[in-house]
Amino acid sequence: MRFCRTFSSSRIAINKWNQCRNSTVCWAASTKLERKISYYSPTTGKSLILRRNRPSRLVGLDKFRYLANPMAMKSPQICCIALALSIWAAGLRAQHFRNGSFELNDLECAYNLANASFDAHVLYVTALGTKSEMDVITDTCGYGPAFDGRDFVALYGGFYSDAIALELDEALEPGREYVLHFASKNGLGTGQEVGKLRVGFSEGNGLGNLWYESAPSGLDWTLQKLVFTADAPYRYVGISPEGDGWVFVDDFHFGCPELDLGNDTTICKVAGTILTSNAALDSYLWNSGATSPSIVADGPGLYTLEGLYDDCIVKDSILLSEFEHQCTCAVYVPNVFSPNGDGINDDFRPFSPCTLALFELLVFDRWGQLVFRTNDINSGWDGQIGHKAASHGVYAYMLRYRFSYASDTALTKGAVLLIR
């Protein structure tokens, strides 16, 4: 399809025609509040007005809706798009699915269409099933609203099954990762089964090889997601039901990749840690200024990556922190104390500059009797046994502890001299 675009810097109403040579599809637009687009096909001789349903993502002409309001257009050589620049301010690139929401059709509640009839009325979607009884349903047909826009397609599965192939406006790039989204919903027929869908990719107009089986669909719209890497320049996405049942499908589109640097984390030493993008992007920009997919962290802090993927801007951050003393903490235990009230070494108390998740100190006399016990590192033994001063001599201790960053508990044993 060839078309021409004319942009205006003001938000005034535009309704002008531009001529394109050798065109097979003609377009016109008026940028009043309804922002209409007119469609003309020299092949069928039909002319219809399309209108945007709602301010959803503007990624291509399949997001515009036919209205049954024929225009008088006589010349197949006349075509245009004339849109206010503000409509396209978000930036328009080639739309992957030419008719991913099935809005480019001139039908209303059409059931049991032969494949050829479906193909003639629904642009850029080909019916391939052996049942040859395709359904194009509108939100006024009694089966609830579409997931996106007004129209959706119903597929019947079974021994004779419906199937479709949706055309992309350009082939997928081999080796590139894509995120495919679409919505599915069980029809309201009796005996409805789980409503799974099979997805395939092909270079020609067909179902292609099976790549994916969707999760079961419910009675409400279910958003399906497939992340895959193309291994060939596929141009068509094929959809067919799995098992008996009536399944509705809508809103096929390629989404943005999910950039995930991981959860904020605390480690022993940040310097030297490698951070890598989980997604293959067109470009990378770290807050350090680096433009590679991976960087080496130079110390604790917030690391942010912003990337471009087609017209997607993706961004994620991770906060890297260090444990105290880079996990080289120790517990220091004195070997002598003198509980004489002079304020110097009056109690027996281990200490550490680091945070302890577990602490237990046990002190025994020379006969192995427990004379002191605490789980508080700030509470030491004051040399008292049962409110009486312990005698001068050597006492044994056992210390169990675990630092906040550690998973294992340490055990230390030794002796301390009490001086009177």
Full DSSP string of 74-135: --TTB--EEEEGGGGTT-----SBTTTTS-SB--SSEEEE-HHHHHHHBTTEEE--SS--EE
Condensed to tens digits (0 to 9), the pLDDT of residues 198-232 reads: 999 999 888 888 788 888 888 889 899 998 889 99
pLDDT at residue 34 in the model: 32
- Which one is the CATH code of 327-418: 2.40.30.110, 1.20.1250.20, 2.60.40.1220, 2.60.40.10? 2.60.40.1220
CB 294 within 8 Å of CB 273: no
pLDDT at residue 189 in the model: 56
- Per-residue DSSP letters for 62-75? GGEEEES-------
pLDDT at residue 215 in the model: 81
pLDDT at residue 39 in the model: 43
Residues of the chain with pLDDT under 50: 1-95, 190
pLDDT at residue 352 in the model: 95
pLDDT at residue 193 in the model: 56
Q: Which CATH class is domain 110-255?
A: mainly beta
d(CA 168, CA 96): 5
The residues spanned by each domain of the chain are 5-88, 110-255, 265-322, 327-418
Residues in the chain: 420
189-193 long-range Cβ contacts below 8 angstroms, 24+ apart: 189/245, 189/246, 191/244, 191/245, 192/245, 192/246, 193/157, 193/243, 193/244, 193/245
pLDDT at residue 192 in the model: 56
pLDDT at residue 356 in the model: 94
- Per-residue DSSP letters for 323-374? -GGGG----B--SEE--SSSSSS-SB--B-SS-EEEEEEEEE-TTS-EEEEE
- CA 19 to chain CA mean position, Å: 42
- Per-residue DSSP letters for 26-56? EEEEE-STT-EEEEEETTTTEEEEEEE-SS-
94, 90, 22, 62: CA torsion to nearest 10? 70
d(CA 209, CA 234): 11
3-state secondary structure of 152: strand
